[in-house]
């Protein structure tokens, strides 16, 4: 009955998984893209110095780009913006400021997908930006004042051949770039292809089969194994009687009688007198003396058997010994019965 119910549940789960997978595959998802005009803040990964830096360079997006709160970002923080330094000049000795012209080529996301972009730099920290060129800072007015101020005239004349201030963009200089055209992200993720549909379905089926195997294993563990059933019906010949001592003479006290008990089974046995525990006897052991009342009483023997996940108690037979002076505990040939707890 349990197996039929389990099979019905598995069939229902399979039908639901197939229908859900096909429904998701049939729905067209909106393609993610970044519209034109969006401003992205980036930071250089290396120090860029006018006159010495050249070639390809990498920038890092400093913050998540999102349009709506509580929604995934369109461009996650840490994504890379790839560019190329096409012009790098130092400041002139008499005229001209240091400058860097950087061309931005693409965006590299965390899944290693690269998307081409058309963008330009509009802000470069405290530096002036014109026509995608970052200019270094100059101090022409200060030099002019220093030249005509008598105390500093000689100093200014001596340093006239030196170059102007350097332009350096370190990894803490924020740059703002503006997208001139929309950027489509994950172009191939518009619809699930046929292979993707069957791949998702196979993955779901594998998960259901795994869950079914786990449930089946748990159900099988609850059913007693044949070895356990055979162990409960083991006969008393397992313990050789010759290896167990014979019964000792009776010893009478004032209100109790000491009688010998032998355990002829391979189990640990608990002995109860009128449902009161009096002794635990090891396997194939005896005789052991127990105090019994002089009046009528009921003697029981309960064996403790290890099973899968724990242990259980089994009632054993208590038969008179050969000399009728005590009892022998033997295995019950009938069906195993668990002792009821009161």
Q: Give the residue from 199, 223, 247 where a domain finishes.
A: 223
Residue 65 forms part of a structural domain:
yes
Give, in order, the Cα–Cα distances in Å from 15 to each of 31, 124, 197, 204, 270: 30, 58, 15, 11, 53
Q: Are residues 165 and 270 in the same domain?
A: no
Distance between CA atoms of 43 and 62, rounded to whole angstroms?
6
Q: Place 28 in a pLDDT band, splitting at 50, 70 and 90.
A: very low
Q: Place 21 in a pLDDT band, splitting at 50, 70 and 90.
A: low
Residue 312 forms part of a structural domain:
yes
Q: Place 218 in a pLDDT band, splitting at 50, 70 and 90.
A: low
Q: Which residue has the higher pLDDT, 133 or 164?
A: 133
Q: Give the residue from 169, 201, 223 where a domain finishes.
A: 223
Residue 60, pLDDT score: 95
Closest by CA position to 291, among listed 253, 246, 248: 253
CB atoms within 10 A of CB 226: 8
For CA atoms 6, 8, 11, 16, give the dihedral sign: negative
- Helix, strand, coil shares of the chain, percent, nearest 5, are 25, 35, 40
Q: Are residues 81 and 185 in the same domain?
A: yes
Domain count, the chain: 3
Q: Which residue has the higher pLDDT, 294 or 247?
A: 294
Q: Place 337 in a pLDDT band, splitting at 50, 70 and 90.
A: very low
Q: Alpha helices of the chain — where are they, by DSSP H?
A: 2-26, 140-148, 150-158, 194-222, 226-232
Residue 4 forms part of a structural domain:
no
CATH of the domain at 174: 2.40.128.260
**Token pair for residue 268?**
């640990």
Q: Write the pLDDT tens digit of every residue in 30-52.
A: 667 889 999 999 999 999 999 88
Residue 61 forms part of a structural domain:
yes
Distance between CA atoms of 138 and 130, rounded to whole angstroms?
15
Flag whether pLDDT at 192 surpasses 60. Answer: no
Flag whether pLDDT at 121 surpasses 60. Answer: yes
Q: What is the mean pLDDT of the chain?
A: 76
Give, in order, the Cα–Cα distances in Å from 255 to each of 114, 251, 275, 341: 97, 11, 19, 29
Kindly write down the DSSP assignment for every residue of 94-139, as one continuous string: SS---EEEEEEEEEE-TTS-EEE--EEEEEETTBEEETTEEEPP--
Which of 7-11, 79-83, 292-296: highest mean pLDDT?
79-83
Close Cβ partners of 207 (under 8 Å, ≥ 6 residues apart) = none
Q: Are residues 39 and 183 in the same domain?
A: yes
Q: In degrees rounded to 5, what are phi and psi of residue 199?
A: -65, -45
Close Cβ partners of 65 (under 8 Å, ≥ 6 residues apart) = 34, 38, 40, 73, 74, 75, 76
Distance between CA atoms of 102 and 105, rounded to whole angstroms?
10
Q: Write the pLDDT tens digit of every residue in 104-117.
A: 999 998 888 889 99
Q: Write the pLDDT tens digit of every residue in 47-61.
A: 999 988 889 999 999
Q: Are residues 43 and 154 in the same domain?
A: yes
pLDDT cut 70: percent of the chain above it? 64
Q: Are residues 323 and 296 in the same domain?
A: yes
Q: Are residues 284 and 142 in the same domain?
A: no
Q: Are residues 272 and 302 in the same domain?
A: yes
Q: Are residues 157 and 292 in the same domain?
A: no
Report the residue count for the chain.
Answer: 342
Residue 323, pLDDT score: 81
Residue 12 forms part of a structural domain:
no
Q: Are residues 282 and 150 in the same domain?
A: no
Flag whether pLDDT at 314 surpasses 60. Answer: yes
Q: Are residues 43 and 140 in the same domain?
A: yes
Q: Are residues 125 and 205 in the same domain?
A: no
For residues 50-73, give the mean pLDDT: 89
Q: Are 212 and 8 in contact (CB under 8 A)?
A: no
Residue 268 forms part of a structural domain:
yes
Residue 45, pLDDT score: 94
Q: In degrees rounded to 5, what are phi and psi of residue 310?
A: 160, -140
Q: Are residues 56 and 154 in the same domain?
A: yes
Flag whether pLDDT at 338 surpasses 50. Answer: no
Give, in order, the Cα–Cα distances in Å from 119 to each of 39, 99, 287: 9, 19, 98
Close Cβ partners of 277 (under 8 Å, ≥ 6 residues apart) = 270, 271
Residue 141, pLDDT score: 60
User: Exposure of 178 by Cβ count < 10 A (0-12 exposed, 13-18 middle, 19+ buried)?
Assistant: middle
Distance between CA atoms of 268 and 285, rounded to whole angstroms?
9
Q: Write the pLDDT tens digit of every residue in 234-283.
A: 444 456 555 555 555 555 545 778 888 898 888 889 999 988 888 888 88
For CA atoms 212, 215, 221, 222, give the dihedral sign: negative
Q: Are 272 and 302 in contact (CB under 8 A)?
A: yes
Flag whether pLDDT at 212 surpasses 80. Answer: no
Residue 1 forms part of a structural domain:
no
Q: Place 122 in a pLDDT band, splitting at 50, 70 and 90.
A: very high
Residue 297 forms part of a structural domain:
yes
Q: Which residue segment(s) compose the domain that 219 sits in? A: 191-223
């Amino acid at each position: 009955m349990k197996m039929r119910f389990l099979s019905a549940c598995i069939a229902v789960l399979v039908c639901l998984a197939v229908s859900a997978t096909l429904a998701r595959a049939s729905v067209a998802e909106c393609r993610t893209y970044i519209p034109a005009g969006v401003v992205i803040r980036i930071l250089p990964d290396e120090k860029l110095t006018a006159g010495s830096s050249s070639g390809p360079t990498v920038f890092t997006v400093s913050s998540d780009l999102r349009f709506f709160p509580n929604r995934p970002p369109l461009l996650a923080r840490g994504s890379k913006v790839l560019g190329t330094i096409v012009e790098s000049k130092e400041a002139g000795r008499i005229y001209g400021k240091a400058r860097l012209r950087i061309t931005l080529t693409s965006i590299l996301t965390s899944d290693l997908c690269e998307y081409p972009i058309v963008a330009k730099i509009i802000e470069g920290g405290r530096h002036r930006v014109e026509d995608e060129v970052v200019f270094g800072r100059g101090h022409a007015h200060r030099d002019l004042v220093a030249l005509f101020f008598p105390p500093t005239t000689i100093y200014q004349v001596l340093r006239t051949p030196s170059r102007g201030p350097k332009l350096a963009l370190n990894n803490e200089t924020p740059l703002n770039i503006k997208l001139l055209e929309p950027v489509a992200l994950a172009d191939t993720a518009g619809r699930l292809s046929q292979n993707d549909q069957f791949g998702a379905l196979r993955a779901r089926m594998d998960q259901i089969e795994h869950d079914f195997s786990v449930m089946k294993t748990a159900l099988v563990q609850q059913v007693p194994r044949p070895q356990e059933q055979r162990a409960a019906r083991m006969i008393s010949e397992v313990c050789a009687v010759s290896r167990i001592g014979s019964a000792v003479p009776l010893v009478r006290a004032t209100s109790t009688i000491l009688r010998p008990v032998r355990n002829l089974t391979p189990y640990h046995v608990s002995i109860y007198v009128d449902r009161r525990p009096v002794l635990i006897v090891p396997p194939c052991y005896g005789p052991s003396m127990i105090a019994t009342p002089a009046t009528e009483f009921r003697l029981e023997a309960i064996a403790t058997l290890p099973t899968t996940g724990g242990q259980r108690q089994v009632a054993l037979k208590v038969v008179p010994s050969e000399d009728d002076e005590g009892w022998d505990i033997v295995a019950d040939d009938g069906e195993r019965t668990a002792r009821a707890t009161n």
